[in-house]
Chain A
Amino acid sequence: MKKPALLIFFALAAACGVYLAYYTLATRQTRALVSAQDGEMEWVRREFRLSDAQFERVKVLHDAYEPQCMELCRKISEANAALDRLIRTSNGITPEIKAAMARCTAVQLECHQAMLEHIYRVSNCMAPEDALRYRTMMESRILQPPLHSSRVEM
């Protein structure tokens, strides 16, 4: 009875050892990317096969767009908060609520235009087929998001 028990032990040890070694090695790159601060930029580089020069241009554009994006984010938050306040304190649609709703729509339009502009600028740094793929992917995700948008893990 000793031999079969040893055989089962070695078989299980071999299966577990190979599993752990292969899984750790095969997922090492994506694990590093996910935990990296700028993992998403590295994703752009690899997904759209950017050369070093192309990646540098994309990174400069991304860094330049960031303050504009934060400013637009602030405007959206303010417009939404103003609309929320008015909705809570009113019993019906008032001219102020209509104005606040118009303001929210206007800010969202401004955001979409800024994003599209950024998407065009970034795609112009890429090879034509990758540029088209990038525009299609971003347009479908941002400007026409799916009904069940996926949750972003940071």
Chain B
Amino acid sequence: MNKEIDQKLKAWKVEVEVPSRFRANVWQRIARENAAREQSFLHRLAFLLTSRLAAPRYATAVVLLAAFIGLSTAHMEARSTNSRRWKNLEDRYAASIDPIALAHR
């Protein structure tokens, strides 16, 4: 039984008719996908970084912008920290003249 199946499988030939423009269609599809990838945000960003921003004047601008962002963030954080500490000192002073607060500490 198995020999029979083996012989039939060996004798079996698949004949597929390839459409006339099959190759051309495949290449067109690859070209379309490449074009779409080039239009994607990440690809454009990578291109910008490797080509435009690597130029000295753009690179300087990027570094200055990063420094400015760091400065702004530090300014906001410092203001919040100073305000919190100022309130803490106010609490400490109020507690230092309040025997009830001292008794509950």
Contact = CB atoms under 8 A, between A and B. Distances in A.
Report if A and B associate in a common complex. Answer: yes
Nearest to A7: B59
A11 B62 contact: yes
Given A34-B88, A34-B89, A77-B103, A10 B97 contact: no
A14 B59 contact: no
Contact of B81 (A30, A114, A115): A30
By size class, the interface of chain A is 35 or more
Interface in B34-57: 46, 49-50, 53-54
- Interface residues of chain B: helix, strand, loop or mixed (majority): helix
Nearest to B93: A40
- The number of chain B residues touching the other chain, given as a range, is 35 or more
B99 A69 contact: yes
Contact of B50 (A3, A12, A119): A3
Contact of B70 (A15, A70, A108, A119): A15
Nearest to A75: B99
B74 A22 contact: yes
B99 A111 contact: yes
Interface of B: 46, 49-50, 53-54, 59, 62-67, 69-71, 73-75, 77-79, 81-82, 85-103, 105
